[in-house]
Structure 1
Amino acid sequence: MVMKLAFSTLGVPGMPVTDVLRLATEHGWHGVELRAHPEEPVHPGLSPAERAAVAAEFKAAGVEVLSVAGYARIAAPGDDGPVLDEIRALLGLARDLGAPYIRVFPGGDADQSPEEADETAARRLGTAAEDATEAGVRILLETHDSHRTGADAMRVLGLVGHLQAGALWDVMHTWLGGEQPAESFAALSPHLGYVQVKDIASAEDTTPLALGAGVLPLTECVDLLARHHWDGWLCWEYEKRWYENAAPLPGLLAAGRRHLDRLVGEAA
């Protein structure tokens, strides 16, 4: 069993690609999840030449682009067109960078019924999955906001039933949703792309902490993945962008890598 390790650029907001890759190589991380927002160095507005330059930097460093983490909200009220355009832009960027995945959010609205949100999300995801097939990229629905548990995400993915539409398991959100890791994995495993790990102090204080310093069931999650011979990516999403007072991620990367190595090694 081999689990590869990545970290998200959400933890180093605005950092140039060269510096991100230096951190990854210095501390032995296999890949990087790129936050694809206009305030970041890598986003869908890049020209073909700029995309090629980013891809070349990653290749030269021997680091993989795990995913292009976008902000399309597939269950959100409104017309389908703008949402589908946003997803297609993310797919094009991922294709050009050689990333196997893009991330989308559910983004359902409190004014929608759960059934309406599910149907809207499934319709858009099913349409976008055809574009994903052409791009050779998989769209992953993150367990987040209106669909934070594995059971929630499966209500959508079950309606879609397309190989290019999968799941991104954010272990914090499923835990906050009251779902046990075994329940989350059982729901998501047929569609699982990769797993986002993180740690927090409590359900009331979600300020990011060093891995192993908080309450999230990371050991249980990794053990579960190992028992099922899951061979994929663990990505540390350290949400520094939203928590100004959180410790800087660069100083935590070495210990974070060691912690995940230990969890994977003990679970093997």
Structure 2
Amino acid sequence: MIDQIVETVQNLFGTRKIRRKPRVIPHKENKIDLRQVSPFAVSVCKRLQEAGYKAYIVGGAVRDLLIGHTPKDFDVATDATPEQVRKVTRRAIIIGRRFRLVHVIKGAETIEVSTFRGLTAEGVQKDKNGRVISDNVFGEQYEDAARRDFTVNALYFDPTSGDVLDYHNGMLDIRKKRIRMIGDPQIRYQEDPVRILRAVRIASKLGFTIDPKTAAPMTRMQQYLDNVPAARLNDEMLKMLMSGAALQCVDLMAQYKIEVHLPIFKLLMRERENV
């Protein structure tokens, strides 16, 4: 079974280590300030856990908590299916086609809940350029970790125990202030070219560097951005504008010769020229 998973990963994403067991970083070591954690996100996790499911705060929120920043948004990952999440939580809406997610709403706050993604190729659809256009294959937590983009975004925080689960040395990369891709960067950019822009935005926002192996394919892989729907590109560019590091983003894009054929990119370039 393990050999089949390894072969599938190599076919899908290139050679990548499959780490079934994470490093557990206890609260006394990770020192996350629980006052910075959304009480609503905590309650969503606890509801799922009390119903017998695994549930963790995941991604950029954990990364930001570990460096002492207050996250803007909180996402939750679980082994519950979207339908099961909707049954357990209140005011929950299943959204998405490419990835089915659940938005759990309370007042003005929305918690995005995703089911652990699997590594099997069955059910994953790609376009002619290798970009994933549909993927609702569910799996185990270690598979979900291997599916995430950068190591610093593949950290899981259990608000009940206070532990952080680290499958890909994301904690080390946070300490070294670097953005490093999980798996073969070229293949990972090909499956989702927006990761090129995301690497630029996160590095600029946090003052991190992009790992040389992660950065190496960025210039030549930018051609695949032309195949991404304009709405997704606009969304990522807006995040750059609102990141508080828009000029740094433009500088880093210029460094790697990355261009986006959208009016908002031209606006960013004009802002840089006026400084």
Fold agreement, TM-score > 0.5: no
- Bigger Rg, structure 1 or 2: 2
Q: Which has the higher contact order (CA 8 A, sep 6+)?
A: 1
